[in-house]
Amino acid sequence: MTVMESAPSESDLERHFEETIGRDQRIEPRDWLPEGYRKTMIRQIAQHAHSEIIGMQPEGNWITRAPSLRRKAILLAKVQDEAGHGLYLYSAAETLGADRDELTEKLISGRQKYSSIFNYPTLTFADVGVIGWLVDGAAICNQVPLCRSSYGPYARAMIRICKEESFHQRQGYELLMTMMNGTQQQRDMVQDATNRFWWPSLMMFGPPDDDSPNTAQSMAWKIKRHTNDELRQRFVDMTVPQAEALGVTLPDPDLAWNAERGHYDFGRIDWAELKQVISGGGPCNAERMARRRQAHEDGAWVREAAAEHARKQRERAVAAATEEVGA
Ligand code: FAQ
């Protein structure tokens, strides 16, 4: 006698999903998942991928002007890594059913976000070092816990990305150390870049917890492992001693060790500035988007050629298979 197994009900699937999250196990592409989880994951992964791709622009601005062949090679490699991170992340989003062309379309039409930090200009070569130190430093702080994120493909992509970003952070710090051991003018450049990037780096962690609409649900689903404020504090605590070792001053008169809390206190962040930058009104939003749109248009022939090549290969494979069957 055959026993007919009935398909699991929606509530069975939901219970299985909740239990998987509860046991700290990973959700994988073939697993059932609630629509809200899928949407949140696609939003976060897409925003992250777009950030990596747009994030190539501020540093790319210095590739042709790097002061030596060594610095140029390092910077080229870093910017290429960022392109790679964008590609792993778009692939992770595709496992959730997202279409890569659609994600790109949403970015260039301004319907999906990318990190606020990439809307600030890179005015001197010291900015390249400060981006490595502070921006990659903040990115690592935020992303190391994401290696334990509940969505398998995202968490696994994050492991490699974090390894490469640690390397990026080191190169930034090494560049700044070199400049700090140079002339007074070079030290001034490092201080000026630090002054401009410090506050925007703190904003990378997102709005404060009581104004963060997604944190509670993302923590419950173990997509996020720490809140925005927890990670921001961790970054400040980690960076203050690094600034001291480097010999630069962080531009915050309220920055002070609080022995009772066991953390550094820091001054008020200008949340109005973050809102303005996120909504398109930052110093370089228009420039970054225009360049991304132009790159997309310039790349149309490559996409067409690749699609045509794939079509011909498919045709040849079908012809070869038909011949074999006929032989
Ligand atoms: N910029 O409710 P929450 C890099 C949006 S690192 C722009 O707190 P959530 C490496 C947020 O999406 C940079 N938008 O949101 C690199 C949400 O949008 P909605 C990328 C922001 O998701 C280094 C709304 O505000 N890293 O690229 C920002 O729970 C050097 C409300 O916020 C990641 O993406 C912001 N700063 O927490 C490359 C990491 N903050 O719902 C080149 C992964 C918030 O209105 C050179 N992402 N928003 O559409 C995350 O960890 C989270 O998504 C947060 C935001 C923490 C960014």
Q: What is the dihedral of CA 227, 143, 251, 282, to 10 degrees?
A: -90
Terminal-residue alpha carbon distance, the chain: 44
Same domain, 149 and 204: yes
| 190 falls within a domain | yes
| 4 falls within a domain | no
CA distances from 231 to 56, 81, 130, 227, 282 (A): 24, 24, 19, 6, 24
- The domain total for the chain is 2
Q: What pLDDT does 5 receive? A: 64
Q: What pLDDT does 1 receive? A: 43
User: What DSSP string runs through 66-107?
Assistant: -SSHHHHHHHHHHHHHHHHHHHHHHHHHHTTT--HHHHHHHH
Which mutation among 41, 43, 50, 51 tests ligand 1's pocket best, with the greatest number of atoms within 8 A of CB?
Answer: 51
Backbone angles phi and psi of 220, in degrees to 5: -65, -35
Cross-strand pairs, 263: 258
Same domain, 238 and 275: yes
Nearest to 246 by CA among 124, 123, 134, 118: 134
pTM, two decimals, is: 0.95
Query: Rounded to the nearest whole angstrom, what is the distance from the C-alpha of residue 51 to the centroid of ligand 1?
Result: 9
Same domain, 260 and 241: yes
Whole-number Å distance between alpha carbons of 111 and 71:
36
| 50 falls within a domain | yes
Which mutation among 47, 144, 147 tests ligand 1's pocket best, with the greatest number of atoms within 8 A of CB?
Answer: 47
Same domain, 53 and 163: yes
Domain span at 306? 283-326
Same domain, 174 and 57: yes
Ligand 1 atom nearest residue 278's Cα: 7
Ligand 1 atom nearest residue 161's Cα: 10
Same domain, 94 and 20: yes
Q: What pLDDT does 325 receive? A: 79
Same domain, 111 and 233: yes
Q: What pLDDT does 221 receive? A: 98
| Ligand 1 atom 11: residue of nearest CA | 206
Q: What is the mean pLDDT of each run of 10 residues along the chain (327 residues)?
A: 66 94 96 97 98 98 96 98 97 97 96 98 98 98 97 96 96 98 98 98 98 97 98 98 98 98 98 98 98 97 97 96 81
Q: Is the CB of 50 under 6 A from ligand 1?
A: no
